[in-house]
Amino acid sequence: MEMVKVTVDGQTVEVPNGSTILAAAKKAGIKIPTLCYHEDFNVKAMCRICVVEVVGARTLQAACSQPVSDGMVIITNSPAVRQARKINLELLLSNHPQDCLNCVRNQRCELQALADQLGVQQQRFHTKTRPESPKDESTAALVRDPDKCILCRRCVEVCHEVQSVGAIAPGNRGINTQILPAGGVDLNDVACVQCGQCSLVCPVAAIYEQDHTERVWAALADPEKHVVVQTAPAIRVSIGEEFGMEPGQVTTGQLVAALRRLGFDRVFDTDFTADLTIIEEGHEFIDRLTNGGVLPMITSCSPGWIKFIEHFYPEYLDHLSTCKSPQQMFGALAKTYYAEKAGIDPKNIYVVSIMPCTAKKFECGRPEMSASGYPDVDAVLTTRELGKMLRQAGIVFSELPEEEYDDPFGITTGAGVIFGASGGVMEAALRTVYEVVTKETLPSVDFNAVRGIEGIKEAEVDLKGTKVKVAVANGLGNARKLMDLIKEGKADYQFIEIMCCPGGCIGGGGQPIPTTNEIRKKRIEAIYKADAGLPLRKSHENPAVKTLYEEYLGKPLGEKSHQLLHTHYTKRGKYPEKSVG
């Protein structure tokens, strides 16, 4: 690789030819301020916050897009640079509501942080050039606030290029430009899957999750309610980031302790029903494989993926596993099995989920998710919302002692833990399917071929003479590629895992901000570390799951299981395409 020498603020560094000024400055230990730039996306150079001087150039250059050349001399902190950055930021702020104290991103907003960094302490420009627009609160999971949008287009890129959904795009022209659904309709009127990846990359609060914190506070304060909480596998490796901890810290014990201090009556682990999902889904796959069922069978744990296939590939719904997600299985059992064991009227049981996912808010409101006669799940908090509640309660997370989950839904295996990472559901299923079919012990429970954040991964497993080819995809753009292969008759897989979000649930739309690919990798590493540290690593070895079948469900795929743990989905189809602007 050809290397070039450039000088940044008096420091000479060598970087690969074609590198940007931004990358060269980073190599020199200088952090140039940015706003529209995101390390995982294509360069847009929209905001001009990152401008620098290049000696010999007649104008300031955008550091995020300008490539370096050999001998280039760059100045990142001259009076002209500081003035230009400040003016560019002030112009952005002139179109931005000045209500930081009432904003969900207060003290966690990139625009606010830049104003502090660049010394913007007064508003010099007061002429608002864009028309005011009402909030769009039409979906169960997300809120759009167009007035706060800074037109950075990060949300557009993740929606189109990463997720291939295309629910939002730039519309209108000039000073009237907005980011909005086609035709200017509400988000609920287009094929939005409510994955929340847009909210994860938005630098301000132009898109954020529907807030369930107040309804949870109300339930905790209601003496008539028995409030139970379940925590998704990915939460234990991300909640610490809400309190300044490094990504990739496993904080399971502190998480349990924190939830008890909030006042929950029981603290349970969604990993329990992840293990249960594997038992049901594994037996469903074996049944399809041996009895001529619809193949490939595709996992059904991810609600954003479910809504995606309902909209874009409704003719392939029969390929989905009929299993509910672990969140919904937990809710159904909490209001039946647990209610009976605890002697509590299910109408008084209030189920709260802590999830890395915004689409879980949509999922819990689906009409088919009420097998007990009551909604399986009553409220869903994202990782960010849980962080907010813990701060409101004054709980110092890092100083909490480790505590254990409550029984009966607190006994879990490593297979349940790895549900939080792309490939985890497939690996957990293979650990069980292999031993159920072959009646032999796996020589190794680690299926490394399906791990990692690569978009599509493949593996082949020999079930004592029966070769099973599997595929794993994360991110809906990759899901689309797999579905198109099925549609074209080019897929020879028998089992497919699809996770809606890049990296799987560890990269969910409700996770701490920022979430980058580098951070995803650290969370995934922590997930597998947690798995390796557990005494049980196969779902079918979970003693509490065995007891559940003995006492209540009977057998996998039995009548009771089908009633409570399985469901079918809805053909939604695509919405008519409408032009914007």
Percent of the chain having pLDDT more than 90? 94
Specify whether the backbone of 386 is left (phi greater than 0), alpha (psi in -120 to 50) or beta: alpha
pLDDT digits (tens, 9 = 90+) for 180-202: 998 899 999 999 999 999 999 99
Q: Is 198 a catalytic residue?
A: no
pLDDT confidence band for 578 (50 / 70 / 90)? very low
Alpha helices in 442-552 (DSSP H): 476-487, 517-532, 543-548
Q: Which position among 148, 307, 335, 360 bears the catalytic label?
A: 360
Rounded mean pLDDT, 120-145: 88
**What order of strands is seen across the sheet that includes strand 466-474?**
297-298, 495-499, 466-474, 456-463
pLDDT at residue 575, rounded to an integer: 59
In the chain, pLDDT over 70 holds for what percent of residues? Answer: 99
- Given a contact cutoff of 8 angstroms between Cβ atoms, the answer to whether 521 and 453 are in contact is yes
pLDDT higher than 80, residue 354: yes
Say if residue 416's pLDDT is above 90.
yes
Residues of the chain with CATH 3.40.50.1780: 213-565
Q: Which tens digit of pLDDT belongs to each residue from 82-118?
A: 999 999 999 999 989 989 999 999 999 999 999 999 9
CATH class of the domain at 213-565: alpha beta
The dihedral region occupied by 423, where left means phi > 0, alpha psi between -120 and 50, and beta the remainder, is: left
Q: Which two tokens stand for residue 409?
A: 């839904």
2 is catalytic: no
Residue located via tokens 């915004």: 358
User: Is 360 one of the catalytic residues?
Assistant: yes
Query: What mean pLDDT is reported for the chain?
Result: 96
Asked if 324 and 567 touch (Cβ cutoff 8 Å), the reply is yes
Q: Is 368 a catalytic residue?
A: yes
Q: pTM value?
A: 0.96
**CA neighbor of 271 nearest in space, from 130, 84, 414, 384:** 414
pLDDT for res 305: 98
Give domain 133-210's CATH architecture. 2-Layer Sandwich (3.30)
Q: Scanning the structure block, which residue is given the tokens 């086609």?
A: 182
* Candidate list 19, 238, 300, 321, residue with the active-site label: 321
- R_g of the chain, CA atoms, integer Å: 25
Tokens 């996912």 identify what position?
357
Residues of the chain with CATH 3.10.20.740: 3-93
Across 187-254, the runs of DSSP E, i.e. the strands, are 207-209, 226-231
* Mean predicted confidence (pLDDT) in 133-137: 95
Catalytic pick from 281, 310, 427, 435?
Answer: 281
Is 3.40.50.2000 the CATH classification of the domain at 3-93?
Answer: no
- From the list 368, 404, 440, 458, the catalytic residue is 368
Q: Position 270: which residue type?
A: T
- Is 25's pLDDT higher than 80? yes
Q: Out of 284, 310, 385, 435, which one is annotated catalytic?
A: 284
Q: Which of 364, 505, 538, 539 is catalytic?
A: 505
Q: Which of 363, 385, 435, 497 is catalytic?
A: 363
The Cα–Cα gap between 493 and 495 comes to 6
Angle (CA) 337-342-346 rounded to 5° is 60
Do 346 and 372 form a contact (C-beta atoms < 8 A)?
A: yes
Rounded-to-integer distance, Cα 316 and Cα 319, Å: 6
In the chain, CATH 3.30.70.20 covers 133-210
Q: Which residues are within 8 A (CB) of 237 and not within 5 positions of it... i.e. 6 or more apart? A: 248, 249, 250, 251, 420, 506, 523, 526, 527, 530
Query: Annotated catalytic, 152?
Result: no
Q: Look-up: residue for tokens 């490796």?
A: 237
pLDDT for 576? 41
Instruction: Single out the residue of 160, 154, 250 nearest to residue 206, CA to CA.
Output: 154
Q: Is residue 301 annotated as a catalytic residue, yes or no?
A: yes
